[in-house]
Chains A and B, each alone.
Chain A
Amino acid sequence: MVDTSNGRAQPDQLAQPNQLAQPDQLAESDQLAESSRLGRLSRRAVLAGVAGSAAVAMTPAISAPAAADDGLAADAIKTLTRGAQIKPGRVTVVMPELAENGNTVALTVTVDSPMTAADHVKAIHVIADKNPIARIVTMHLGPRAGRAKVATNIRLATTQVVTVLAEMSDGQYWSGAQEVIVTLAACMDAG
């Protein structure tokens, strides 16, 4: 899933823009943003081909996937928030700074919210950008929770920053993050 972005920059693949832009190959919702990016790439490749200069086509083609490489979490966040602005703050993430085993890492999230019917946390999203699937869990709360405090155990593939988004009842998004150093990764036995 991650490796495909490197393959996109290959010139022979760019020569087949229609094949690249197949929407059904990118059916996963997390990759919708990817598909629009691919669409742009393909048009550029085609236009440059008409102009008769393959060298010009390569310049944007290389720079775009490079930006997309670390964009797994960014894409997941974009899908979740539907492009809404995210403000840092109000979310406290408590995780161990050093996790000996990535298979189970304790996570506690507290959101600064009065939890009333008019102003409460609707959902808490946990995202880890270096996991095979950036989205880890979404927890839906309501005013009846009384306090916006949840805890769970997650898997971490490697040392990374875990981002937590809080979706408020008024549509605002707040975020908090915590870096965790993982000494034994959760994906070690995935070979």
Chain B
Amino acid sequence: MAITRIVCPTAAKPGDVIEIKTLIQHHMETGHRRDDIGNAIPRDIVNELAVTYNGVEIFRAELQPGVAANPFFAFTTTATETGDITFTWTDDRGVKTVERRRITVG
């Protein structure tokens, strides 16, 4: 389980536009590099970050090797109702890292 960092307000008023920042620890191996004896190092990147708010998708990023190691994303969403914001990172090995944050709206 990779280390993640999420900055997300825990409370907001209805209609507020809130900013969310996410980061996951991942080496984002590009697949272009070779090791000391010349063997290609296989690609291993986080290829998708999907964010849902009470089950409805609010942000999704499709990553290529051109995204820096420890991929960081900042985006906004409108606070609509009290609920869970779920962050799911998927890497090339199929490993999913899931984090949840509760937001109280009212």
Report if A and B associate in a common complex: yes
Chain A residues in the interface with B (C-beta under 8 A): 103-105, 108, 126, 128, 131-133, 135-142, 144-147, 149-155, 187, 189-191
Q: Mark B35-55, 1 if CB is under 8 A from A, else 0.
A: 000000000000000000100
Contacts of A190 in B (CB 8 A): 30, 32-34
Proximity bits, B56-85, A CB within 8 Å = 1, else 0: 111111111111111111111110100000
**List of A residues within 8 angstroms of B71 by Cβ:** 152-153
Q: Is there an interface contact between A146 and B77, defined as CB atoms closer than 8 Å?
A: yes
Contact of B69 among A104, A138, A149, A189 (CB under 8 A): A104
Does B95 lie at the interface of the complex (its beta carbon under 8 Å from any beta carbon of A)?
A: no
B73:A150 contact, CB within 8 angstroms: yes
A79 to chain B, nearest CB (A): 13
- Please tell me if the beta carbons of A154 and B75 are within 8 angstroms of each other in the complex: no
Docked CA distance A138–B64 (Å)? 9
Cβ contact of A141, chosen from B53, B69, B75, B80, cutoff 8 A? B75
A139-B59, A141-B75, A154-B67 given. 12 additional CB < 8 A pairs?
A104-B68, A135-B66, A138-B61, A139-B62, A139-B73, A145-B58, A146-B78, A150-B75, A152-B73, A153-B67, A153-B68, A153-B71
Interface size class of B (residues with CB under 8 A): 20 to 34
Cα distance, A187 to B62, chains bound together (Å)? 21
B17 near A: Cβ within 8 Å?
yes
Bound CA span A133–B47, Å: 14
Complex Cα distance, B60 from A136, in Å, reads: 14
Q: Could you list some 24 contacts between A and B, CB below 8 A?
A: A103-B68, A108-B74, A133-B65, A135-B66, A136-B66, A136-B67, A137-B67, A139-B60, A139-B75, A140-B62, A141-B75, A144-B78, A144-B80, A145-B58, A145-B75, A150-B73, A150-B75, A152-B61, A152-B68, A152-B71, A152-B74, A154-B66, A155-B66, A155-B68
* Chain B residues near A128 (CB-CB < 8 A): 66
Whole-angstrom CA separation of A136 from B77 in the bound complex = 23
Closest 9 CB pairs of A and B: A146-B17, A136-B66, A153-B68, A151-B74, A146-B78, A104-B68, A140-B60, A138-B62, A147-B76
- What is the bound-complex CA distance between A92 and B53, given in angstroms? 27
Once the chains are docked, how many angstroms separate the CA of A105 from the CA of B69?
11
